[in-house]
Amino acid sequence: MKNKGRLFIVAAPSGAGKTSVVTNVISKLKQTIPIERVITLTTRPQRPGEVDGVDYYFLSKEEFLRRKDEGFFLETTKYNDHYYGSPISMIQDMQNGKSFIIITDTTGANNFKKNIMPNVVTIWITISDIQELRRRLENRKTDSPEMVEKRLEIARHEIEREAKEKSFNYHVQNNNLDNAVNEIIKIIKQNLV
């Protein structure tokens, strides 16, 4: 009998490098393990360099809400005034042995764990200090100074909450990309046994 796939959820404060880490993890694992990133759908505006269908599926708010009403999503969340959602189709793929990584926010991760899939493996990525987050967000040059401040405020709240609640299964520091990638690969392999 074929093994069922697992779902891994990666969340991090904005600017902590979650997308870079996950992209590298999948690149290293996909030759030996059937795993891929869930491409979530969002109403957030597309950033320079992002590709529709690769980074996210970018939808209008109206289209997103229509799909939500039609039962297209396994879960949805609202972050910074934009909707995000994961397609329900991944459940069948997991039954057939494929594993997935979803990048989401803390609310989405907690919702998955409490209400949708209690056996999900959650991984919290962070970095050593808030000033490094500021530097990374400013260097992206995708947000106004006001939006950087808003993202930092959300990040502070998320970091404080996770320090108190410890709701994620694993915590990974992303002060060095290769180390963070290797640590997450180790976590995934441990949980696929």
CATH code for the domain of 54 = 3.40.50.300
Instruction: Report yes or no on 150 lying in a domain.
Output: yes
Could you report the per-residue pLDDT of 38-91, keeping only the tens digit for each? 999 999 999 888 899 988 999 999 999 999 999 999 888 888 799 999 999 999
* Residue 137 DSSP SS3: helix
> Angle at CA 71, nearest 5°, toward 68 and 73?
65
Q: Look over the chain and give the mean of its residue pLDDT values, rounded to a whole number.
A: 90
| Residue range 127-151: mean pLDDT, rounded | 84
| Residue range 23-49: mean pLDDT, rounded | 92
A 10 A CB-CB count for 22 gives: 21
Instruction: Report yes or no on 56 lying in a domain.
Output: yes
Torsion (CA) 46, 49, 53, 59 in degrees, nearest 10 = 10
HSE (side-chain half, CA atoms, 13 Å) at 7? 24
Instruction: Report yes or no on 158 lying in a domain.
Output: yes
Instruction: Report yes or no on 2 lying in a domain.
Output: no
Instruction: Report yes or no on 43 lying in a domain.
Output: yes
Instruction: Report yes or no on 180 lying in a domain.
Output: yes
Instruction: Output the pLDDT for position 143.
Output: 78
Residues 101 and 19: their CA atoms lie apart, in Å, by 11
Q: What are phi and psi of 71, to 5 degrees?
A: 80, 25
| Residue range 155-182: mean pLDDT, rounded | 92
Can you give the residue range of the structural domain that contains 42? 7-191
Instruction: Output the pLDDT for position 111.
Output: 83
Residues 128 and 153: their CA atoms lie apart, in Å, by 16
**Does the structure show a pLDDT above 50 at 1?**
no
Residues 159 and 55: their CA atoms lie apart, in Å, by 24
**Does the structure show a pLDDT above 80 at 94?**
yes
Instruction: Report yes or no on 92 lying in a domain.
Output: yes
> Angle at CA 24, nearest 5°, toward 95 and 107?
60
The answer to whether 12 and 126 are in contact (CB under 8 A) is yes
Instruction: Output the pLDDT for position 48.
Output: 83
Instruction: Output the pLDDT for position 2.
Output: 58
Q: Residues of the chain with pLDDT > 70: what percent?
A: 99
pLDDT band at 8 (very low <50, low <70, confident <90, very high): very high
Strand order in the sheet with 7-11: 35-37, 99-104, 7-11, 121-126, 170-173
The answer to whether 109 and 122 are in contact (CB under 8 A) is yes
Q: How much is the pTM?
A: 0.84
**Does the structure show a pLDDT above 80 at 101?**
yes
Number of domains in the chain: 1
Instruction: Report yes or no on 1 lying in a domain.
Output: no
Query: Hey, which of 107-116, 146-155, 167-176 has the most confident mean pLDDT?
Result: 167-176
